[in-house]
Amino acid sequence: MLILPKSDIAPSDITPQEVYQERRQFLGMAGGLALAAALGGLSTSAAANTRQKFSGVISSKFGADEKPTPYKDVTGYNNFYEFGTSKSDPADFSETLRPRPWTVSIEGEVKKPKRIAIEDLYKLAPLEERIYRMRCVEGWSMVIPWVGFPLADLIKWAEPTGNAKYVEFFTLNDQQQMPGQRSNVLDWPYNEGLRMDEAMNPLTLMAVGLYGEQMPNQNGAPIRLVTPWKYGFKGIKSIVRIKFTEQMPVSSWMKANIHEYGFYSNVNPDVDHPRWSQATERRIGTGFFQKRQKTLMFNGYAEQVAQMYSGMDLRKNF
């Protein structure tokens, strides 16, 4: 069990009140689902989500000098409200997710709308391992060795029209597979979006695994978005729809609280969350007495992404 040092941030400041008040209700519901599975009344993903190694993954230049966060922490400490609001809930309750078979629908401003199986998505570009620093808006961070391919390759394959200015993503909406969706914590299904230049940036990754293995359920199986210069909630998981649009999407957290969660969600130590500072972070998995470290602008990826925001007021466009 991961034991974190005492933080100067109150739990009520990290999780909205309406979220943690539903915690007990969710645990009871999840317990019922576990019992149903044990009795054979619910199909689980245990067989489909065993730790399967990828072959032929390319080691990229990204993060070669970074020490990854231990696997147990990467897979055991997560935000994935579709399975509950505690950090341990995704690992405890995500066996109900069935990541195979899986298809992703390509919709909106594209020349030919398509539906593509996850196995065919693997063929769009060689799979790479990229070690990225990841920062959560709550003040903790990890270093994760993702396996995936650039989103830019999928976009080129999809052939968006000239009207496509944004890319919107949607998570699976299925209460049987994602029991947390029975609560009203968020407006389901979870959705997120990127501006087209952000989506085409070489750092933007469609991740299908981590640590050289297929993506665990609790981390967003079978495919998720990774934008390492943005806060973690921008990294939408278990994607089933990708929609190209002319208008800026209104994401799930924007709908939940527009004053605290903006569209861009860039890591910016100079712009505090209304309820806590973003100036420092605590690296998970580095030991009980590890001190908080300074948060870097754009999570340390300013050289690769800062030009996209040139001339923008990053306090207004947070």
Q: Which of 26-30, 49-53, 302-306 has the highest mean pLDDT?
A: 302-306
Question: Could you tell me if residue 28 is inside a domain?
Answer: yes
Q: What percent of the chain has pLDDT over 90?
A: 79
| Residue 18 pLDDT exceeds 50 | no
Mean pLDDT of the chain: 87
Handedness of CA 248, 253, 257, 262 (dihedral sign): negative
- What's the pLDDT score for residue 191? 98
Residue 14, phi then psi, degrees to nearest 5? -85, -45
Q: In this structure, are residues 209 and 87 in contact, taking their beta carbons and an 8 Å threshold?
A: no
Question: Could you tell me if residue 57 is inside a domain?
Answer: yes
Question: Could you tell me if residue 102 is inside a domain?
Answer: yes
- What's the pLDDT score for residue 64? 77
Find the mean pLDDT for residues 205-209. 98
Find the mean pLDDT for residues 13-33. 43
Query: Which CATH number covers residue 106?
Result: 3.90.420.10
Find the mean pLDDT for residues 152-174. 97
| Residue 34 pLDDT exceeds 50 | no
Q: Quick one: how far is CA 165 from the chain centroid?
A: 22
Q: In this structure, are residues 14 and 233 in contact, taking their beta carbons and an 8 Å threshold?
A: no
- What's the pLDDT score for residue 61? 84
Angle at CA 63, nearest 5°, toward 59 and 65? Answer: 105
Considering its fold, how many domains does the chain have in total? 1
Question: Could you tell me if residue 164 is inside a domain?
Answer: yes
| Residue 21 pLDDT exceeds 60 | no
Cβ atoms within 10 Å, residue 115: 12
- What's the pLDDT score for residue 49? 52
SS3 19: helix
Range of the domain at 143: 12-309
- What's the pLDDT score for residue 30? 46
Handedness of CA 259, 224, 92, 212 (dihedral sign): negative
Residue-wise pLDDT for 84-116, tens only, equals: 999 999 999 999 999 999 999 999 999 989 999
| Residue 43 pLDDT exceeds 70 | no
Amino acid at 67: K
Task: Look at strands 103-108 and 239-245 and give their pairing.
Answer: parallel
Question: Could you tell me if residue 134 is inside a domain?
Answer: yes
| Residue 38 pLDDT exceeds 60 | no
Q: Quick one: how far is CA 162 from the chain centroid?
A: 28
Q: What percent of the chain has pLDDT over 70?
A: 84
Question: Could you tell me if residue 316 is inside a domain?
Answer: no
Question: Could you tell me if residue 317 is inside a domain?
Answer: no
Cα–Cα separations (whole angstroms), residue 9 to 17, 80, 197, 276, 295: 14, 20, 35, 7, 16
Rounded CA separation 207/146 (Å): 6
Residue-wise pLDDT for 47-76, tens only, equals: 345 689 999 999 888 887 889 999 999 999
Confidence band (pLDDT; 50, 70, 90) for 222? very high
Q: In this structure, are residues 234 and 266 in contact, taking their beta carbons and an 8 Å threshold?
A: no
Find the mean pLDDT for residues 163-172. 98
Q: Quick one: how far is CA 167 from the chain centroid?
A: 15
- What's the pLDDT score for residue 20? 39
Q: Quick one: how far is CA 230 from the chain centroid?
A: 10
CA atoms within 13 A on the CB side of 316: 4
Question: Could you tell me if residue 3 is inside a domain?
Answer: no
Q: In this structure, are residues 235 and 226 in contact, taking their beta carbons and an 8 Å threshold?
A: yes
